[in-house]
Amino acid sequence: MDPSDQADRISNLPDILLVLIISCLSFKECVQTSCLSKRWRSVYLETRNVSFKESDFLSPSVYANPISWIRARDAFVDYVCSWVARIDDQHIDTFGISVSYPKTYLDVIESLIAFAVRKRVKALVLDFSNPAWTTFHDVNLDELVVEIPQSVYDLATLELLKLGAVKQFDPTKLSNPGKLKTVSFGWMVLTNFEPLLKTSRFESLTINGCRELDFDTIEGNMRKVAIKNCDFSINCTFDLPRVDILKYSGDLFRFEFDNMNTIISEVEFDFRVLDNNNDESNDSTTAEGGMLCHLLNNLLDDGGRTATTLTVCPFLLKMIPRSEHPHFLRPMETKHLVLKTELHPREFNGIRLLLLNCPKLETLTIDLLPPSPIATASSYAGIDPQTYWMQNISYECQRETLKAVVVKNFAGGENELHIVKFFIQSECEHLERVELYMPFDLDEGRKMFANAKSEMLQRSSNRVQVVVHNS
């Protein structure tokens, strides 16, 4: 069928169906449909999901010039106000406003929040964070100027609430916490939160960059929990009997797991914030390695709990072999292991240790990260990347279960080729395919080079299929 004919068929649908279709798009995509025809200029205004993000409307080039930046922000806020004025009598399910440095627009923000409350929205997103923030240490409390009115606490229709960089939010004021299914709090002081966790029916919880936390236990019946760069005191305990996705990134604390789901679909640990610490003293790294081994053993012990997919970071790969007793790391039932790695020699022993302790592994994903300054070394502590993966060592997962190796951001570098060859040429009797995903920003010359290296890998094995994906 001609694509233009298919487009005409869509345009011939009644407005009520078109509104349902565009309401499934992101708001940015919805606005872009206004360019299709005169008819779409009115249809797109009827979307039920409205989300104004400063980053979607401002060109990156305006940030270089303060005057251009101020003018662009003013134009963005004017656009938001004009849009809201046009849809005053329209039904809205979702309303969001995301703008940094909100102090200039407090009156406008107050009116937009009142508009969302008046529309009795089901989902409300109020995000005033700065894109430059990476941890809670970056947040100046004086920058948190937007206060949440009582009308938001009393909004009985809310099922999703996402707040970022707001002032003095008090979870105990929520009148209908039992209706909320998805909550997200970021870049703010978060206190009085533990009672809400115990009584709520949240299905998804995200806490990002929050400080002055007066609780150290994450508990409830949530199916998805993501904790990012938060200011816990010493310990962090998880009591999540129904959790299906658990993601943690930030500092290394003593983690405990009480009543957890037996099979967790996805677990991710990211401690890359600690890679900025260059303290490589034996005492420091031994302690951190021991804590990380304890973390994995405590959550994913053999015969107990299982993570179907486990994602780990370079810091974990570097530290677990340095534990005083790395051989105490117990086997895990993980079927999909995702290694976020720079493929620095410091990480190699950690990769081997995880391969050894994932005897039922079916898929290995090597997600290549941009190298940090320390990753430029060709060897480390006697580990030579040219020969390390040539050792005649195989693991139970290679011999019995491993079916696929996936490499993301493949560019044909030497370290990438060495580790891929290790799996292709070793005793991986069940290995069916190696999938190589190139970065989207590779120029044509580097793409040709990576393709040539992938063809070389294919020639090295008649049994394993090497598939290249050009982004």
pLDDT tens-digit map of 430-469: 999 999 999 988 899 999 999 999 999 999 988 899 999 9
Q: Token digits for 360?
A: 């039922």
324 pLDDT tier (thresholds 50, 70, 90): confident
Last residue of a domain, one of 200, 215, 230: 215
Residue length, the chain?
A: 471
Q: How many domains does the chain have?
A: 2
Domain annotation covers residue 273:
no
Instruction: Look at residues 371, 276, 272 and name the one whose alpha carbon lies nearest to residue 313.
Output: 272
Q: Are residues 30 and 126 in the same domain?
A: no
Helix (H, G, I), strand (E, B), or coil: what is residue 228? strand
Give the domain-ending residue among 215, 250, 278: 215
- Cα 384 from Cα 138, distance rounded (Å): 38
Q: Are residues 71 and 185 in the same domain?
A: yes
pLDDT band at 380 (very low <50, low <70, confident <90, very high): confident
Rounded to an integer, what distance in angstroms lies between the CA atom of residue 125 and that of residue 84? 15
pLDDT, one tens digit per residue, over 339-363 is 999 999 999 999 999 999 999 999 9
Both tokens assigned to 164:
């970022």
What counts of helices (H) and strands (E) characterise the chain? Answer: 15, 18
- Judged against a pLDDT cut of 50, whether residue 374 lies above it is answered with no
Question: Are 22 and 128 found together in one domain?
Answer: no
* Same domain, residue pair 101 and 208: yes
Residue 436 per-residue DSSP state: E
Residue 1 confidence (pLDDT): 46
Integer CA distances (angstroms), 294 to 172, 254, 290, 355, in order: 35, 9, 6, 17
Please check whether residue 233 lies inside any domain of the structure.
no
What would the pLDDT profile of 94-134 be if each residue is shown by its tens digit?
Answer: 999 999 999 999 999 999 999 999 999 999 999 999 989 98
- In terms of domains, do 35 and 56 share one? no
Which three-class secondary structure state does DSSP give residue 235? strand
Residue 284 located in a structural domain:
no
In a domain, 441, yes or no: no
Residue type at position 230: C
Q: Which domain holds residue 29?
A: 13-47
Question: Is the domain of 55 the same as that of 201?
Answer: yes
Residues 38 and 125 in one domain: no
> What are the tokens at 408?
């993301």
Q: Higher-confidence residue: 144 or 284? A: 144
State the number of CA atoms in the 13 A half-sphere of 374 facing the CB: 16
Task: Report the distance separating Cα 453 and Cα 433, nearest Å.
Answer: 16
pTM: 0.88
Q: In what order do the strands lie in the sheet with 235-239?
A: 217-219, 235-239, 254-257
Domain assignment present for 334: no
Residue 466 pairs in a beta bridge with 434
User: Is 395 part of a structural domain of the chain?
Assistant: no
Report d(CA 257, CA 218) in Å as an integer: 10
Which residue's entry shows tokens 């009582």?
150
167 and 19 part of one domain: no
End position of a domain, from candidates 215, 241, 271: 215
